[in-house]
Structure 1
């Protein structure tokens, strides 16, 4: 096995970051095709895989024998509004060992880590390796699942390596063993036929926005714990995330308390979380003196392993319907939750991580959800699934301004994968 070429990792990542490959409505298709072409250029002998209505995925195979390992990542990125960025989000910029740019961490670092691992083996690994680089992960449409249904053998493998995550802390090797499911509800309250002058009708006419805020407040108790009856809540048995590290990583302001009971691990990885993602109501700027007739909100529900996602969403819907104040008319649209996932800690992956970093591996969960992973677990129930990557929780800022990746972390991520392929060989 050859050493990891750190210079080539950076060069490839910079080329990818320069392409604004945003797979959302309202953004041009051409950059996605450009990014797909570059990924295909970087993966010798690769081909495009058609994904209905989306930019293509890129697929390649290398090596032979057993076991079969699938390496997955995605080249599409979140939009990058310029507000808050210290440099152009699509002009990779190096500052203090970190490369800044949209997608530098999520998930072009995953693409590059796979490339580095394969190059270390001269694209002739000691096991059979499949590579699938997706082009439409971020937009949530999940049409890659149609490919899985259409060609179930395409991604079939003994070990599925998903490079779309990272360590709990910079330089601290981490294996992720759980993912929460994720569902959404759009709640609309109506109280009046039309808007009214607040001077003439305020004080007796029921304001829909006020009703909605009162309803949303019932989802949590005074300490911030979820207050919906009938939800399964577990306890986290793996390594816990120290509260001081969590406060720093989350940017919690001085004097502001964390919400909910239990350890940080319990709250992030073993229990339900409910958030309000957005409100439709008049903006503060230019707001008129009116009693508002209708208001709506989008509510997100994170479902922990061990819980039935359908039962969880039904419980939250029933809670909201039963508590609308003042007889307000309630409309609820439910986006079903993806399934939560519990994975066994893969011994070979843990050994590779420990060898690459030179320290023990922490076993932790992931509070987010990756629907593809849950679906792959259903389609390939005997496969080991490994979730890792270079997206550290300290400073990666994925989906936010000033997204970045540590080049040292990226190099170790590639080394970890190269070692895993070597260790899996008979």
Structure 2
């Protein structure tokens, strides 16, 4: 099919694609503990039905975790096979009072579709489906769709799934639709992602709470000790001060400060932390954030010295850094900086590999050509991403010869993981066209 024919075919399919996306958004498929996992199973069944509608052979699989969906359609003679990845599970919604509408009832406002999973990552699923529907019976490549069911919960069983179904998933090109574009109107290929370490640090100073008047001033309370310990993680400029955490190569593009502040929702008067270019701070250097603290709630706190306090740390690692070594460095720092002899215990919750992609070769040029056409002549930007997709390292290890293209439907205003998550509908249409064009261009290029 010509580019013009594909454009017309995608436009024809978009109303149905949007309707099916809204049906997926209505399913609260959350893989976290404590949630009703029957919704994740229902989500997998809905995805399977969509893939069967594209004439794929479909199976629902699991390896001790939540269900994933595999759909296959054989390649025409001599044509390459493309693996299309997305995930159907979603993040919890958090504080419902922060949502302007029901997170599981999609609604359009100002050209954006609001709802949990509307961008991350049910739109990724539907971009794949849109491309397949546009081609119909004339699909020029083989495809394998792999739609995971627990990505937001850490992909704990993914490595086992990939190993068990390696032959079914083998492909010449892998398209992972779980990233973002540089801006509304500017497409991107993601070429690096940071690694991750999540851990808990607990500080103890007493065997029980004691009267703050009788003992305060001589006995350290654990919450103050924890606060002082957490303050050692950064220097005065806000750069990470943990010896042993590495930095990667400098980024090749910059991020205008005013745009970055607006997209982050930074309050007036609040300064950015760290030094150097913003893209280096968020793409190629480590970061440490305190994402939770266990301590008495203020409304019920007695006038007593707190005996123990606990924090959860989220550490993002520079591309290329090793998460096991980084965790050891963090634990060493925390134990060495224990204030006033407080007892410090550090425990690992989760870690994940970083990712670096060599975005050269014919398949990457095919992607750039497809993006340029879909965005009406706008060149795509090679970007890093401060977030983490650790399973990409599994794909790299199991399929070393495959070109891995990290794409996505999100834009800087999508609010993925936050309240009022949304999808820019005009950008989504471009993403769908770009994927159809990509499959067409991949079919025309030599494999290897």
TM-score, normalising length: structure 2: 0.92
CA distance in 1, matches of 2:254, 2:72: 38
2:375 aligned residue: 357
CA contact (8 A) 1:148 1:154 kept: no
Give unmatched runs, 5+ long, in structure 1: none
- Pick from 344, 351, 359: which aligns with 2:358? 344
1:145-204 deviations in Å (ceiling 9; x for gaps): 211122222322121101111212112111110011101221111111110010111111
- Counterpart mapping for 1:1-400 below 5 A: 1=1, 2=6, 3-4=9-10, 5-44=13-52, 45-64=56-75, 65-81=78-94, 82-122=96-136, 124-335=138-349, 337-345=351-359, 346-358=364-376, 359-393=378-412, 395-400=413-418
Over 4 Å off, 4+ runs = none
Alignment CA distance shift 1:312-1:54 (3 Å):
closer
Distance change (3 Å), C-alpha of 1:281 and 1:123: farther
- After TM superposition, give the deviation of residue 124 of structure 1 in Å: 4.1
Structure 1 contact 182–303 (Cα < 8 Å) conserved = yes
In 2, Cα distance between equivalents of 1:233 and 1:54? 34
Contact 2:65/2:150, CA 8 A, preserved across alignment: yes
SS of residue in 2 equivalent to 1:138: helix
CA contact (8 A) 2:355 2:390 kept: no
Q: 1:119 is paired with a residue of what secondary structure?
A: helix
Q: In the TM superposition, what whole-angstrom CA distance separates every residue of 1:257-289 from its partner, at most 9, and x where no partner exists?
A: 111111011111111111111111111111110
Q: Unpaired runs of 5+ in structure 2?
A: none
How far does residue 123 in structure 1 lie from its aligned partner after superposition?
Answer: 5.1
TM-score normalized by structure 1? 0.96
Cα distance between partner residues in 2 of 1:70 and 1:287: 54
- Report if aligned partners of 1:40, 1:46 keep a CA contact under 8 Å in 2: no
Give the Cα separation in 2 of the matches to 1:405 and 1:229.
Answer: 40
CA contact (8 A) 1:187 1:299 kept: yes
Alpha-carbon distance between aligned partners in 1 of 2:358 and 2:155, rounded to the nearest angstrom: 28
8 A contact 1:188–1:296 mirrored in 2? yes
* Offset, 1:221: 0.5
Per-residue CA shift, 1:364-422, capped at 9, x if unaligned? Answer: 101111121121112112221111121111x2111111111011111111111101100
Work out the CA distance in 2 between the residues paired with 1:83 and 1:180. 31
Worse overlay, 362-371 or 118-127: 118-127
2:323, 2:92 → 1: CA distance?
29
